[in-house]
Amino acid sequence: MDRKAKIIATLGPSIFSDSKLKKLIDIGVDAFRINFSHNTNGIIKIINRIRKIEKSKNKKIALIADLQGIKLRIGKVFNNNQKIKYNQNFIFDTNISLGDSSRVNFPYPNILKKLRKGNKILLDDGKYSFVVVKNNINSVITICKSHNCSIKDSKSIHIPNFNMPFDKLTIKDKKDIKTAKKLGCNWIALSYLQNEKLIYETRKLINKDIGIISKIENKHALKNITKIIDATDSIMIARGDLAIDIGHSEVPKVQLSLIKKCSQHSKSVIVATQMLESMIENNTATRAEINDVATAIFQGADAVMLSAETAIGKFPTQTVSTMSKTIISTEGYKEKHIEDFKNLIIDNKDAVKSVLISVKNIAYNPNVKAVIVFSSSGKSAKLISAIRPAVKILTISPNINVSRQVSLLWGVKSINSRDANSWKDMMSISKEIIKKIKFIKKNDFVIITAGLPFGNAGMTNMIRLYKVGT
């Protein structure tokens, strides 16, 4: 059985070799994430390797540039390790000198002065908790509320229920966007956005054939989620930071709600963070992790993402294999019980969606083997993927970057081909592609869909049911 949900692997030292990259692509990786929060020196060599493998395997691979965004961090500390006792007073201040067991630099004076008694400051991705007891001009006094607290250089700061005064791209992010364009990245992932403003700003800086992924990581993004979904191309449910902000117990229902909302708006969803985290150190996953991956697939996620598991993990190939097998098993169940999942996707609010629903309904016929989508901009491919047809989606685009971008979408096999300039030409291209597809036989039916007139991006308004061999 072909897998429809996609797998994203984060690039890192564990998979930089040619042999590892080839193996990962062979066993199921559809896209690679570049984490711009870390050193990206030498990444062009890795990307060149990926593109060579892509060509040899005839499989389009998407590249995702994950921007750092506004992630607050403390300054450096003496010996890069300081112990803080439970219930001990501890100061966060604007002093740039090395921190010690009594204080540390908090290099954000505008935020510091807004903190009040009762505010929490979480360090190191939420590991350690401090409660503000007094605010001074250039510092706050806190009480440490964690046992075995140990702080190191530049660890992350998180302040729950605090509206950060940032809604613009950082200087680093703007620089990284330029780098991502030069590297040929197909997606830009925006970190720590609170509303749609970052999306519009980014849109002005990128090419039309680059998609935007909005990472949902805080309460403020959730409050503005409708506007964010409308403005973006895809969202990523970044469950780590999100859990810190809203509480771990709230994440499951938020995940389901976001997937449903994106389905209604024909936008793709990536579920990320700690999916198979135990496999960083172990060659097998826990049953809880397997269930977590399966749940995301049952709910309708387009893609699931591996982070440290592939970047620095000891067993990257086993991890990808485990995720792929879990997805295939889960999708097999969904296929056998299709009536339970038929009506979960997309609502009918406009004429284009009416056409798409027709495609979906026709695709349930067992004699129909594929949907062929002509999509010069990628928009039609995204719309067809969102309706979740019961068959393989073959997308045809003359733009190689669009082909790579849509390869991340659920159920899509991306094909880079010349553009059709007429009805007759479209049928000719379709027949050429069908001849190369092993699972399509004579007398099978194929749905062909496109926007007319040709070149009118996003106007999916034509359906033809073609019997192979006629």
The pLDDT of residue 349 is 56
Binning the chain into helix, strand and coil, the percentages to the nearest 5 are 40, 25, 40
Neighbours of 322 (CB within 10 A): 24
Neighbours of 200 (CB within 10 A): 11
The pLDDT of residue 145 is above 90: yes
Q: Which of 2-11, 236-245, 451-460 has the lowest mean pLDDT?
A: 451-460
pLDDT tier at 457 (50, 70, 90 boundaries)? low
pLDDT tier at 365 (50, 70, 90 boundaries)? confident
Mean pLDDT for the stretch of residues 434-454: 85
The pLDDT of residue 344 is above 70: no
The pLDDT of residue 458 is 55
The pLDDT of residue 460 is above 80: no
User: Nearest-CA neighbor of 60 among 396, 327, 425?
Assistant: 396
pLDDT per position as a tens digit, 70-92: 888 899 999 999 999 999 999 99
Domains, the chain: 6-69+167-337 (3.20.20.60), 78-158 (2.40.33.10), 345-467 (3.40.1380.20)
Mean pLDDT for the stretch of residues 356-379: 86
pLDDT tier at 39 (50, 70, 90 boundaries)? confident
pLDDT per position as a tens digit, 190-210: 999 999 999 999 999 999 999
pLDDT tier at 327 (50, 70, 90 boundaries)? very high
Q: Enter the pTM of the model.
A: 0.89
Mean pLDDT for the stretch of residues 96-100: 95
Which residues sit opposite 303 in a β-bridge? 6, 270
d(CA 403, CA 460): 17
442 Cβ contact partners less than 8 Å away, ≥ 6 residues apart = 468, 469
Mean pLDDT for the stretch of residues 351-370: 80
pLDDT-above-70 percentage for the chain: 94
- C-alpha angle 425-427-431 in degrees, rounded to nearest 5: 120
The pLDDT of residue 345 is above 50: no
The pLDDT of residue 255 is 97
Q: Which of 226-230, 292-296, 447-451 has the lowest mean pLDDT?
A: 447-451
pLDDT per position as a tens digit, 386-396: 888 888 999 99
- Cβ proximity of 299 and 256 under 8 Å: yes
The pLDDT of residue 436 is 86
The pLDDT of residue 10 is 97
Neighbours of 398 (CB within 10 A): 14
Mean pLDDT for the stretch of residues 17-25: 96
The pLDDT of residue 380 is 86
Q: How many angstroms separate the Cα of 114 from the Cα of each of 117, 154, 244? A: 10, 21, 20
pLDDT tier at 459 (50, 70, 90 boundaries)? low
277 Cβ contact partners less than 8 Å away, ≥ 6 residues apart = 289, 308, 309
The residue ranking higher by pLDDT, 42 or 24, is 24
Q: Which of 96-100, 321-325, 404-408, 456-460 has the lowest mean pLDDT?
A: 456-460
pLDDT tier at 456 (50, 70, 90 boundaries)? low
pLDDT per position as a tens digit, 275-307: 999 999 999 999 999 999 999 999 999 999 999
pLDDT tier at 357 (50, 70, 90 boundaries)? confident
The pLDDT of residue 50 is 97
d(CA 215, CA 236): 5
Instruction: Kindly list the strands in the beta sheet with 128-135, ordered across the sheet, starting from the edge strand earlier in the chain.
Output: 103-105, 89-93, 139-144, 128-135, 120-123, 157-158
d(CA 382, CA 364): 19
Q: And the tokens for 137?
A: 């001009």
d(CA 439, CA 259): 31
What mean pLDDT, rounded, does the chain reach?
Answer: 91
The residue ranking higher by pLDDT, 301 or 349, is 301
